[in-house]
Amino acid sequence: MVILTICGLVMNILDTSGYEKGCSKMKRLLFAILLVILVFNFTSTMPVLADKVDLNLTKDEVAYTFFDLTHGEATLIQGNNNLAFLINTGHSESQEELKERLEMYNVDSIHTLILTSKEIEYIGNLPWLLNDFPIKSILLPESLQPMFESVLADYQGNVTYFRKGDSFPLLMMFK
């Protein structure tokens, strides 16, 4: 609507500016150029929104999706068997963003939550996730155990503390 209004004003200006009939091709060309510029500018700045993402994964495929949240970050790993692994949670100020992203990728439960740091940008949504999502297990560094004892006191799932050099066959769970 805005584009049509602006283009209409330009055509009125061109029509009343005293050009002769021989200039009508020039008017049309200027109008077309202006229209292309306006449409490009308006459409290139409009965000593309998606309600749901269906990954259509086959038996041996795994998808890694990085969530670059406004405050912090998280990574979602999914397989074709509906298992979801979440690495970090983002900052609590990005809770709504994380919620939208998890909904977009059809995540209604988390098989394993992996925390990698004590920084709030990586763990801020832990209390919210514990309240709103079924989480089967949580992996976190042994050095963070004292920090998380009170937060995880009522958690009923499996908590595993790891040390530098430990390994876990996460991808084997997708087979």
- Give the global pTM: 0.70
What integer is the mean pLDDT of 65-78? 95
pLDDT in tens, 101-157: 999 999 999 999 999 999 999 999 999 999 999 999 999 999 999 998 888 999 999
What mean pLDDT comes out for the span 41-65?
75
Top-confidence residue, 58 or 29: 58
Output the 3-class SS for the chain. Answer: CHHHHHHHHHHHHHHCCCCCHHHHHHHHHHHHHHHHHHHHHHHHCCCCCCCCCCCCCCCCCEEEEEEECCCCEEEEEEECCCCEEEECCCCHHHHHHHHHHHHHCCCCCEEEEECCCCCHHHHCCHHHHHHHCCEEEEEEEHHHHHHHCCCCCCCCCEEEEECCCCCCCHHHHHC
Residue 67 has pLDDT above 80, yes or no: yes
Q: How confident is the model over 32-59, as a mean pLDDT?
A: 70
Work out the mean pLDDT of the chain and round it to a whole number.
Answer: 82
The more confident residue out of 43 and 165 is: 165
For the chain, give every domain's residue range: 2-44, 62-174
Rounded Cα–Cα distance for residues 163 and 166 (Å) = 6
User: According to the model, what pLDDT value does residue 120 have?
Assistant: 93
| pLDDT given at position 35 | 66
pLDDT of residue 145: 92
Tell me which CATH homologous superfamily contains domain 62-174: Ribonuclease Z/Hydroxyacylglutathione hydrolase-like (3.60.15.10)
